[in-house]
Chains A and B, each alone.
Chain A
Amino acid sequence: MTESTAPRRILAGPFNRVEGDLEIRLDIEGDAVRAAYVNSPLFRGFERILEGKDPRDALTIVPRICGICSVSQSVAAARALGAAAGISPPINGERVTSLLHAVENMADHLTHFYLFFMADFARQAYSGWAWHGEISRLFQAKTGVAVRQAVDARAQLLTIMGLLAGKWPHTLSIQPGGVTKAPDARDRVRCLAIMRAFRHWLEANLVGASLESFIALNSREALEAWSRGHIGLFLRISEDLDLGRLGPGAPRFMSYGAYEVAGTHLFKAGLNFDGMPGILDTRRIVEDLSHSWMLGETSHPFDGSTIPDEAMRDEAYSWCKAPRYDGRTVEVGAFARQLIDGHPLAPALLHDGCANVRARVVGRALELALSVVACEGWIKDIEVASDFISPAQIPDFAQVTGLCEAARGSLGHWLTIRDGRIAGYQIVAPTTWNFSPRDGQGVPGALEAALVGARVTDGEQTPLSVQHIVRSFDPCMVCTVH
């Protein structure tokens, strides 16, 4: 056995260009990863902070779980409190809530592609490829032309938050009964102008054509023939590096449904297990604590607790709990949403029934395009003379759930109110699903499974294949453990 093929162990971290801190232990044998152990190394304890508080205070506290999924956290809390009060927002309140939420999710998808993900292809290790010069010019970390333009486009898009939600992140405008600012005629047309400018930016840069023509892609062949825009560059790299097979996750997908207006989600809720569509039932969700530094039993979030194991016992290796649906791991995110919603391109991107690096990246680009079209519709439909918020009276006792889809996937809040105070607040975030540690059966989480078999080149300290796979999930570590 040569030195390069002797089994070895790598501790990868700090893993940057993800939100928050991340460490991955890799067991490597020969030229591939044999096993991966994902550690979320930061514990803050938001669920404990919330206990004992007035339920209304959740709306101030939960957005601060995460600076990148802040509105998603607000939406989940507002839904839970709305369920407790037995109300939902008037339709125009739903339109504005959906708009605010979609703007955050679009900003996150943009940040992922331009700042977090593409920079890795500008690394020196790829200097032999024909595309390396162009990719470096566009995507080199900090200096790339496209990186810098994307930051400006993102800032402009987020001025919608300034107009309608006061600021971003950490707005208090999203409430159980709707939103705290009734837009006037002028807000409406300005939002339309900002959204149209964002459309132009995406069309000129990301897809190099009309958003509608990208949305219309419906087969693997049509996608592979797409050479325009930055996504075309990515697809070329994807072909050269075989990213359509890299990082297969679990062949099971979940979505809680995104952007609800008048009882209908823009991207529908549901499951897709081994190619079979299924109906979501959140009673089948549990969190397993066997390999996390948490004390307690496997339980449904309504019965769950968050008691950190201060001894940090040896059998465990992460602060992250291990959520399971029907005892199984699932993958969540933009790709899962598009698969479950039925976009024809999504199933064409599966490889052996699993998502992969290419599928996840294309899923986000597709969703960016679809979301712009939806936002333009919501803005146009805003009726400025109507109601945007209904009064909410939070009862002294309730046990309720608040679900939504963050950029990175399914986010759920499970809230118990007793004697007018928060008696229990359990949060299961998208990356909690994707980056969970092993469960009591020893079954690895979605990312842990996706990393098995990743190729390792001689002398690589943090294998590039591993970096692509990890970042393809767009992990948010601060949400993961919270």
Chain B
Amino acid sequence: MRKKTVLWLQSGGCGGCTMSLLCAQTPNLFSVLDDFGLEMLWHPSLSEESSDEVIGLLEDICAGRRKLDILCFEGSVMRGPNNTGRFHMLAGTGRPMIDWLRDLAPLAEHVVAVGTCAAFGGITSAGANITDACGLQYEGYQPGGALGDAFRAGAGLPVINVAGCPTHPNWVLETFMMLADESLRAEDLDPLRRPRFYADHLVHHGCSRNEYYEFKASAMHLSELGCMMENLGCVGTQAHGDCNTRAWNGEGSCTRGGYPCINCTAPEFEEPNRVFTQTPKIGNIPIGLPTDMPKAWFIALASLSKAATPRRLRVNATSHRLIEAPSVKDSPLK
């Protein structure tokens, strides 16, 4: 069977999604490519080909001499200055990257935006966005972006947004596997066109601090063990991602590392209109409530659980390490 081809381009980003991808273990990137019939035509960090060898490949694809199955694009699309795209001219070609993207994307069977920059604009579009950076098919929450809302790749899907800053290596690899065996359908993408296999989870799921959350035993400062929702800006109860059930770099996640979830899989995470590590409140109530939770119930349950917080959790929540261990019972558990 013919191998499916993959072309990977980088533009207005940090390269961190590629660096993260190389952290994949069992299977790693190379095993997935080999075992799922994928041929990496060119990747800027991995391939031998440079300069004219690469430009020849791009020209072959544009002229229809080479079939492109999966186009991966990492980093924001640079539209500035003044809509020329010249803030990123693809080296050696004298052409803005946005022009190459617009030529190549319609020729691909699938287009994958790797990372939040490519999906929605991301960190590169923060602040006044003087470079006019955007995502492939979104500008923040606004559909459109560099390719326009109506864009569909050859196989009929819109741009697949593997959002995350950075992406978890397996979000990219599992997307590859599903594209390779043609099992990813339109209904497998969520309303922001992120693969549901990771975006239909909340970061809160599996959070190692959940007992603190249940009793509203909150950390006051970074590194303390308690729940970070009330004071430290954590939006894990609203953010989409399976970060705490699949874990990062072995056993990690942001909340396990002692700092809050900043919702990096979402559009406009880069401009929360507050300090990233501080929770905005009205009175004593955080503005952002857990997803699908009615406000009145949250307030009622929060005040009830605060009143019922066991001493152990209250003590540990504002400590940097466990002060009081869970008690050991002297008879079999019932």
Contacts and interface: CB of A to CB of B under 8 A. Distances in A.
Interface stretch (A1-9, A156-164, A426-434): A156-164
Interface string B118-134: 00000110111011010
A321 B170 CA distance: 37
A75 B10 CA distance: 25
A133 interface: no
A86 B234 CA distance: 27
B90 interface: yes
B15 A45 contact: no
A181 B257 contact: yes
Interface string B3-32: 000000011111111111011110011100
Contacts of B19: 67-68, 70, 168-169
Contacts of B151: none
Given A49-B127, A57-B276, A141-B48, A19 B248 contact: no
B111 interface: no
Contacts of B28: 148, 151-152, 155
B15 to A, nearest CB: 4
Interface in A375-411: 384-385, 387-389, 391
A299 to B, nearest CB: 20
Interface stretch (A35-43, A271-279, A344-352, A445-453): A35-43
Interface string A48-85: 11111110110111001111101000000000000000
Given A53-B127, A54-B275, A67-B166, A389 B82 contact: no
A44 B124 contact: yes
Given A13-B92, A61-B126, A173-B258, A45 B131 contact: yes
Contacts, number: 267
A15 interface: yes
A461 interface: yes
Given A155-B22, A172-B259, A13 B15 contact: no
A41 B15 contact: no
Interface stretch (A115-123, A239-247, A252-260, A364-372): A115-123
Given A53-B127, A67-B17, A142 B47 contact: yes
Given A23-B91, A158-B23, A388-B223, A142 B16 contact: no
A478 B117 CA distance: 14
Nearest to B221: A391
B2 interface: no
Interface residues of A, number: 88
- Of the four ranges (under 10, 10 to 19, 20 to 34, 35 or more), the interface on chain B belongs to 35 or more
Contacts of A12: 50-51, 91-92
Interface string B42-76: 10111111111111000000000000000000001
Contacts of B54: 14, 16
B281 interface: no
Interface in B181-227: 221-223
A173 B258 CA distance: 7
A291 interface: no
A385 B20 CA distance: 32
A153 to B, nearest CB: 11
Given A12-B50, A169-B19, A387 B320 contact: yes
Contact of B130 (A50, A65, A308): A308
Contacts of B146: none
A351 B184 CA distance: 57
B241 to A, nearest CB: 12
Candidate in A116, A142, A173 with the most chain B CB atoms within 10 angstroms: A142
Interface in B272-300: 275-277
Interface of A: 11-17, 19-23, 39, 41-45, 48-54, 56-57, 59-61, 64-68, 70, 111, 115-116, 119-120, 122-123, 140-143, 148, 151-152, 154-156, 158-159, 161-173, 175, 178-182, 184, 308, 310, 312, 384-385, 387-389, 391, 461-462, 467, 478
Q: 6 smallest A-B Cβ distances: which pairs?
A: A166-B257, A67-B16, A13-B91, A162-B249, A162-B252, A13-B92
